[in-house]
Amino acid sequence: MAIRRWCAASLAALTLLFGSSPLVAQTQADMNEEASRSYADEDKKLNETYGSLLKNLDPENQDLLRQAQRSWIKFRDDECRFRSADSVGGSVHPMMVSGCLAELTHRRIKQLEALSDCEEGDLSCKVPRRN
Give domain limits for the chain.
2-6+32-116
Q: Which residue has the higher pLDDT, 99 or 123?
A: 99
CA angle, 62 then 64 then 69, to 5° = 95
- Provide the pLDDT for residue 5: 56
- With a cut of 70, say whether residue 78 has pLDDT above it: yes
How far is 1 from 52, CA to CA, in rounded Å? 43
In CATH, what number does 2-6+32-116 get?
1.20.1270.180
The model scores a pTM over 0.85: no
Q: What is the mean pLDDT of the chain?
A: 85
What are the residues facing 118 on neighbouring strands? 128
Confidence bin at 131 (pLDDT 50/70/90): very low
Q: Which residue has the higher pLDDT, 30 or 13?
A: 30
8 A C-beta contact, residue 81 and residue 15: no
Task: Give Cβ neighbours of residue 70 (< 8 Å, ≥ 6 apart).
Answer: none
